[in-house]
Structure 1
């Protein structure tokens, strides 16, 4: 069975696609975004998959790829077009190459025109195709930079994408209106630039007179993507505050798919036993009657019910790391969000809460054996 997820980056309106083979647990990720590396890696982990490759459809001009970061975290290979001229790639793809993930594969199809190195990826049974920027939903990518060519794009789309079965679902690299998927039949009939009776002359005349400004991040994104997203410094190549916040420097944390920083029970126990473990604030956000019920509570934990947390956050020391605790980890996950809004930068949720802590056989106070 195919595992399929469509993910979205709101800053650049980029879609990232996860394809996995349930039999082997191998997976590939198409068009990952640098800032979403933690999210994507968390999803791969939570679904029990092994990321074998990242596939970029082209050298992007509006965002930096997450390929290099994901290789460091997951060991995945970096793949994109041979015509891209990039550094750091593990495999350079040509038209007709197959990328295997378990018993499944995607076929790379050269679809130049938006850039000279654009690839579209067609699933083995031709039920899905991932078109990058060359064909969008009722539109297409621009053709006025990175060796773009309206004439080449016209032929690429008609020969390599619109020639697929009509029911084949098409997943674009971007959408700016909230649309998620289209089909070959739909684009053949309704794409105002490339469908219906539009011929090459119509299309090139339209595209050559768009007069659009260059993407705002082009001068940063293209050089970074020619390195497959490898930063020139430890910071984000977009010159932001950096990819990793100070949240991870005080304990062995993981970030789940929902964006919540977590710490596992045994790791928290070890951290508390360390010389500087006393610096951690343990915040139990259950109700008072739960604090001393059968599950008990952690030694040194402070009771601060979730319903009171926002109004009493000023009582806490925002300069010290904090771990939030509840019965199962649900309420305490929300507590981390409230604390971050209150200015806490080093905060994590106890994964699985007191239920997991007790299941690990770790010590408690006031609980029944």
Structure 2
């Protein structure tokens, strides 16, 4: 089954549901709190059992529903080990494999740059890149221990090393696009294709982007899986 792609118009965030073929096990990637009921209804409608909730990083533009989804479904939260996300059942590292269903495997790639802990996930010819690689772009590198040098290496050494026909599913899109391929991004990505490291670092340093509106609320919340902290 192809990934189920869902969208949050407020933060332009994609959420993905992966379903094990021939089984009812499911995994959700980057769920958004305001759409928790929508996502639960998708699972119920399709007769799915949520096994894992995956985060690509500690988001700065929305609050995750990971904690509540795990409470409601019995799923396990699996998060990047370098993002300071407490309370998760699994702290992931580069090269880890998440198994679900009848022999399904999700391969974990540590792809820092947007944040120091950012992860991408590879499953059945698909890669879910979070904010590391976007369609014709990439995530910003100017906060949360971001690094243009690290992002350049993550994309070129890990993501662009995947087969060209790998479907690339980003964490966000702001231009009405949904999916790309690694081969297309390698040849055409406006920020990264055929660009030297020095040129890329200079480009990213000159973006001068505004601070995300929700960063002061979202990051602490997401480091607690979106759940209220005791005493808060």
TM-score, with normalisation over the residues of structure 1? 0.61
> Shift of the alpha carbon at 1:231?
2.2
Alignment of 1:103-252 (within 5 A): 103-123=103-123, 125=124, 127-195=125-193, 197-232=194-229
- Whole-Å separation in 1 of the counterparts to 2:180 and 2:23: 29
Runs ≥4 residues deviating over 3 A: none
Deviation at 1:69, TM superposition (A): 1.1
What CA distance in whole angstroms lies between the structure 1 residues aligned with 2:212 and 2:164?
33
Unmatched runs of 5 consecutive residues or more in structure 1: 238-369
Q: CA deviation at 1:87?
A: 1.2
Q: C-alpha displacement at 1:22, in angstroms? A: 3.1
**Distance apart, 1:3 and its partner CA:** 5.1
The C-alpha deviation readout for 1:100-146, integer Å capped at 9, x for no partner, is 121211111000000001000011x3x11000000000000000000
Secondary structure at the aligned position of 2:168 is classed as strand
Higher relative contact order (CA 8 A, sep 6+): 2
Deviations along 1:42-64, one digit per CA (max 9) or x if unpaired, are: 10111111000100000000001
Q: Name the structure where helix makes up a greater proportion of residues.
A: 1
1:276-295 mapped onto 2 (5 Å cutoff): none
Kept after mapping to 2: 8 A contact 1:3/1:22: no
Distance (Å, rounded) in 1 between the aligned partners of 2:229 and 2:219: 13
Aligned residues: 230
Structure 2: how far apart are the matches of 1:33 and 1:108?
21
SS of the residue corresponding to residue 134 of structure 2 reads: coil
Provide structure 2 residue ranges, at least 5 long, that are not aligned to the other structure.
none
| Cα separation, 1, equivalents of 2:49 and 2:76 | 12
Render the CA deviation track for 1:60-85: whole Å, top value 9, x for unaligned: 00001110110111111111111111
Look at both structures and tell me which one has the larger radius of gyration over its CA atoms: 1
Structure 2 distance, partners of 1:23, 1:185, is: 30
Q: What is the root-mean-square deviation of aligned Cα atoms in Å?
A: 1.2
Separation in 2 of the partners of 1:189 and 1:22?
32
Task: State the distance in 2 between where 1:57 and 1:120 align.
Answer: 6
User: Equivalents in 2 of 1:92, 1:24: separation in Å?
Assistant: 26
* Offset from partner CA, 1:272-299 (integer Å, 9 cap, x none): xxxxxxxxxxxxxxxxxxxxxxxxxxxx
